[in-house]
Structure 1
Amino acid sequence: MELHAVTNDTLPVRELIKQIKDIASEVDFIHIRERSKAAGELVHLVKQLLAEGVPKEKLIINDRVDVALLTNIHRVHLPGHSFSPKELRQKFPHLHAGVSVHSIEEARAAEKNGAEYVMFGHVYDTACKPGLQARGIKVVEEMTSTLSIPVVVIGGITPERLPELMHVDLKGIAVMSGIFAHPQPRKMAQTFSKKRKENPYEQAL
């Protein structure tokens, strides 16, 4: 099961670089999701990360295709309201694109439009989505059985909830505040990484 860390747009560039460097070896992918930062800041951020040794293959640029192109990053993640991945690859065949979805209908549409994977949320209650009801594990199970492309889930995921998720045919989990809002991001990334490698069937016995 892949572990995706998603930045939460609360840190200045210098601190964000430090945190990403600290967790890079513990996660499979790092989503740069910094909506309040200007394009120039994001380009600087990505270039600094690469210069500091963060593997290019682990970086995914959220929404900002221009930043991905300028920094030669080949993975992007699109919000559900964005253009289709199929259109994107017609212009830029080297790009890989996933799409955020919030329902099975949106996931089916994303698959039809050429998404290589979908990120579905929020699965559990989370402070990031106050007042919005969690969509729950049953919807995740239905989605994974319906789609032919991989599913990554996000929203309120904690290490304690991983055994339940590991019984579902998921490609991966994505964690935002659980890592980047924690006082010790590296320690939390290590905890998630260790937990996902445990055998869920042994835990069920």
Structure 2
Amino acid sequence: MELHAVTNDSLPADELIQQIKAIASEVEFIHIRERSKTASELVALVKNLLLEGVPKEKLVINDRVDVALLTNIHRVHLPGHSFSPKELRNKFPHLHAGVSVHSIEEAKAAERNGAEYVMFGHVYDTSCKPGLKARGVQLLKELTSALSIPVVAIGGLTPDRIPEMKHANVKGIAVMSGIFTHHQPRMMAQAFSKKVKENPYEEAL
């Protein structure tokens, strides 16, 4: 199972770089989701991350395909309302694209449109989505059964909830506030990583 860390647009670039460096060895992918930063700020952020030794293969640029192209990052993550991943790859065959979805219908549409994976949420109640009802584990299980492409779960995840995610057959989990708002992000990334790597059958014994 993959562990995706998603930045939460709450830190200045210098602090964010230090946090990402601290967790990079514990996660498979780091999604740069900084909506308040300008294109030039994002390009500078990514270039500095690469200079600091964060592996290029782990970086995923959220929404900003222009930033990905300018910094030679090959992975992008698109919001559900964005353009088709299939059209994107027709123009830029080297790009890998996933899509955020919130229902089985959206997920099926993303699969038809060439998404390589979908990110579904929010699974549990989360402070990132106050007042919005969680979509729940049962719908997540239905979604993974309905698709042939991988599913990454997001929303309200804690290390203790990882076994339930494994039984839902997700390819990965994505964590935002659970890592980036914690006073010890590396420690939390390690806690998630440890649970992600555990064998679910061993846990049941």
Q: Same fold (TM over 0.5)?
A: yes
Q: Shift of the alpha carbon at 1:195?
A: 1.0
Match of 2:183 in 1: 183
Instruction: State how far apart, in whole Å, the 2-side matches of 1:159 and 1:53 are.
Output: 27
> Is 1:13 aligned with 2:13?
yes
Q: Shift of the alpha carbon at 1:150?
A: 0.3
Superposed CA deviations along residues 151-176 of structure 1, whole A, max 9, x for unmatched, are: 00000000011111111211100000
Match of 2:87 in 1: 87
Instruction: State how far apart, in whole Å, the 2-side matches of 1:54 and 1:179 are.
Output: 17
Q: Shift of the alpha carbon at 1:181?
A: 0.4
Instruction: State how far apart, in whole Å, the 2-side matches of 1:149 and 1:166 are.
Output: 16
Q: Shift of the alpha carbon at 1:203?
A: 2.0
Instruction: State how far apart, in whole Å, the 1-side matches of 2:148 and 2:125 are.
Output: 27
User: What code does the residue aligned with 1:154 have?
Assistant: I
Partner SS state of residue 36, structure 1: coil
Q: Shift of the alpha carbon at 1:204?
A: 2.0
Q: Shift of the alpha carbon at 1:116?
A: 0.2
Worse-superposed segment, 191-200 or 79-88? 191-200
Aligned residues: CA RMSD: 0.6
What are the residue-to-residue correspondences of 1:135-146 with 2, within 5 Å?
A: 135-146=135-146
Match of 1:60 in 2: 60
Instruction: State how far apart, in whole Å, the 1-side matches of 2:194 and 2:203 are.
Output: 14
TM-score (structure 2 length as normaliser) = 0.99
Match of 2:112 in 1: 112
Q: Shift of the alpha carbon at 1:199?
A: 1.9
Match of 2:38 in 1: 38
Q: Shift of the alpha carbon at 1:18?
A: 0.4
> Is 1:148 aligned with 2:169?
no
Instruction: State how far apart, in whole Å, the 1-side matches of 2:74 and 2:202 are.
Output: 38
Instruction: State how far apart, in whole Å, the 2-side matches of 1:94 and 1:203 are.
Output: 39
What are the residue-to-residue correspondences of 1:159-170 with 2, within 5 Å?
A: 159-170=159-170
Match of 1:203 in 2: 203
Could you list the runs of 5+ residues in structure 1 that have no partner in the other structure? none
Percent of paired sites with the same residue: 81
User: What code does the residue aligned with 1:196 have?
Assistant: V
Instruction: State how far apart, in whole Å, the 2-side matches of 1:107 and 1:179 are.
Output: 26
User: What code does the residue aligned with 2:47 have?
Assistant: K
Partner SS state of residue 93, structure 1: coil
Partner SS state of residue 44, structure 2: helix
Partner SS state of residue 87, structure 2: helix
Match of 1:134 in 2: 134
Partner SS state of residue 166, structure 1: helix
Partner SS state of residue 167, structure 2: coil
Q: Shift of the alpha carbon at 1:202?
A: 2.2
- Number of equivalent positions: 205
Superposed CA deviations along residues 2-41 of structure 1, whole A, max 9, x for unmatched, are: 0000000000000000000000000000000000000000
Instruction: State how far apart, in whole Å, the 1-side matches of 2:153 and 2:170 are.
Output: 8
Worse-superposed segment, 161-170 or 90-99? 161-170
User: What code does the residue aligned with 2:174 have?
Assistant: A
TM-score (structure 1 length as normaliser) = 0.99
